[in-house]
Structure 1
Amino acid sequence: MRKYAAVGVAVALSIAAAGCGSSGSDKAVVTLWMYPVIGDQTKSLAFWGKVEKDFEAKNPTIDLKIDQQPWEGRQEKVTTALVSKKGFDVVVLGPDQIPQYAQQGTIEPVDDVVAPAKAAYLPNSLAALTVGGKVYGVPIYQTITAPIYNKKLFAEAGVTKVPETLAELKEAAPKLAAKKVAVLDYPGNPEISLNQSFYPILWANGGSVFAPDGKSVAFNGPEGVESLQFLLDLKALGGLPANVASKGNDIEGGALASGKTAMYHAATALQVTQLGTAIGAENVGVGLPLEGRKRVAFGIPGALVLARHAENKDAAKKVATFLASPEVTAQLAKESGFYPARTDVTVPDQSEAAKEFAKSLQYAFPGDAHPKARQIMSVIGPHVQAALLGKEDAKTALDAAAKEADTLLSSGG
Structure 2
Amino acid sequence: MKRGLIAATGVAAMLVSVAACGSGGSDDGGDDAGGSQGKKLTVWFMDGSNPPGWTKAVQAEFEQKTGAKLDIQVQKWDGIQQKLTTALSESNPPDVFEIGNTQTPSYAETGGLADLKDLKKEIGADWTDSLNKPAVFEGTQYAAPWYAANRVVIYNKRIWADAGIKDVPKTRADFFKDLQAIKDKGEAEPLYLPGQNWYFFDGLTIGTGADLVKKDGGKWVSNLGDPKVAKAMDVYKQYQAFSQAPKDKDEATPQQADVFAKGKTGAFIGMGWEAATAIKANPQIEKEIGYFTVPGETADKPEGVFLGGSNLAIAEGSKKKDLAKEFLKIALSDKNEGALSKEVGSIPNKESLLANLKGNAAAEAAAPAAKTGGTTPLIPEWAAVENAPNPIKAYMTAVLNGKSPEDAAKQVEAEMNKRLGQKQ
1:103 to 106, 109, 129: 109
1:356 aligns with 2:365: yes
2:228 to 200, 203, 223: 223
Contact 2:36 2:66 in 1 (8 A): no
Q: Matches of 2:233 and 2:352 in 1, distance apart?
A: 39
1:262 aligns with 2:277: no
- Change in 2 beyond 3 A, CA 1:229/1:359: closer
- Change in 2 beyond 3 A, CA 1:411/1:124: closer
Q: Matches of 1:90 and 1:33 in 2, distance apart?
A: 6
Show the counterpart of 2:384. 375
TM-score (norm 2): 0.77
Contact 1:148 1:286 in 2 (8 A): yes
SS class of match (1:148): strand
- Change in 2 beyond 3 A, CA 1:205/1:343: closer
Q: Matches of 2:85 and 2:412 in 1, distance apart?
A: 28
1:243 aligns with 2:238: no
1:157 aligns with 2:163: yes
Q: Offset of 1:359 from its aligned partner?
A: 2.4
SS class of match (2:155): strand
Q: Matches of 2:396 and 2:295 in 1, distance apart?
A: 23
Show the counterpart of 2:25. none
1:183 to 178, 190, 194: 190
SS class of match (1:305): strand
2:303 to 295, 305, 308: 295
Bigger-Rg structure (1/2) = 1
- Change in 2 beyond 3 A, CA 1:246/1:231: same
- Which aligned pairs between 1:131-142 and structure 2 lie closer than 5 A? 131-142=137-148
> Mean alpha-carbon deviation: is it higher for 94-103 or for 158-167?
158-167
> Mean alpha-carbon deviation: is it higher for 155-164 or for 217-226?
155-164
Contact 1:205 1:294 in 2 (8 A): no
Show the counterpart of 2:62. 55
Show the counterpart of 2:80. 74
1:253 aligns with 2:261: no
SS class of match (1:311): coil
SS class of match (2:44): strand
Question: Which amino acid is the alignment partner of residue 295 of structure 1?
Answer: E
Contact 2:190 2:266 in 1 (8 A): yes
Structure 1, residues 149-189: CA drift from partner, whole Å, max 9, x if none? 23433343355664444444445554433315343322445
- Change in 2 beyond 3 A, CA 1:300/1:399: same
1:322 to 330, 355, 369: 330
Show the counterpart of 2:285. 279
SS class of match (2:311): strand
Show the counterpart of 2:319. 311
Question: Which amino acid is the alignment partner of residue 261 of structure 2?
Answer: A
Give me the CA root mean square deviation: 3.2
What residue ranges of structure 2 are gaps of 5+ in the alignment? 1-34
Structure 1, residues 247-306: CA drift from partner, whole Å, max 9, x if none? 52535422x2323332323x2222345557553445513124444897312224422101
Contact 2:381 2:421 in 1 (8 A): no
Q: Matches of 1:58 and 1:139 in 2, distance apart?
A: 23
SS class of match (1:33): strand
- Change in 2 beyond 3 A, CA 1:177/1:273: same
Contact 2:382 2:420 in 1 (8 A): no
Question: Which amino acid is the alignment partner of residue 57 of structure 1?
Answer: Q
Show the counterpart of 2:203. 200
1:87 aligns with 2:108: no
Contact 2:205 2:211 in 1 (8 A): yes
- Which aligned pairs between 1:4-23 and structure 2 lie closer than 5 A? none
Show the counterpart of 1:347. 356
Q: Offset of 1:122 from its aligned partner?
A: 1.6
Aligned residues: percent identity? 22
Q: Matches of 2:70 and 2:391 in 1, distance apart?
A: 42
Q: Offset of 1:67 from its aligned partner?
A: 0.8
Structure 1, residues 364-409: CA drift from partner, whole Å, max 9, x if none? 3123212122321333244146427738554333222222111222
Contact 1:148 1:284 in 2 (8 A): yes
1:365 aligns with 2:378: no
SS class of match (1:183): coil
Q: Offset of 1:37 from its aligned partner?
A: 3.8
Q: Offset of 1:327 from its aligned partner?
A: 2.1
TM-score (norm 1): 0.79
What residue ranges of structure 1 are gaps of 5+ in the alignment? 1-23
Contact 2:211 2:223 in 1 (8 A): yes
Q: Matches of 1:198 and 1:26 in 2, distance apart?
A: 51
Contact 2:220 2:421 in 1 (8 A): yes
Question: Which amino acid is the alignment partner of residue 31 of structure 1?
Answer: T
Q: Matches of 2:244 and 2:130 in 1, distance apart?
A: 33
Q: Matches of 2:245 and 2:358 in 1, distance apart?
A: 40
Q: Offset of 1:86 from its aligned partner?
A: 3.5
- Change in 2 beyond 3 A, CA 1:278/1:361: farther
Question: Which amino acid is the alignment partner of residue 40 of structure 2?
Answer: V
Q: Offset of 1:64 from its aligned partner?
A: 1.9
Q: Matches of 1:389 and 1:355 in 2, distance apart?
A: 32
Question: Which amino acid is the alignment partner of residue 107 of structure 2?
Answer: Y
Structure 1, residues 19-51: CA drift from partner, whole Å, max 9, x if none? xxxxx9973332110113448xxx54x653453
Question: Which amino acid is the alignment partner of residue 143 of structure 2?
Answer: G
SS class of match (1:261): coil
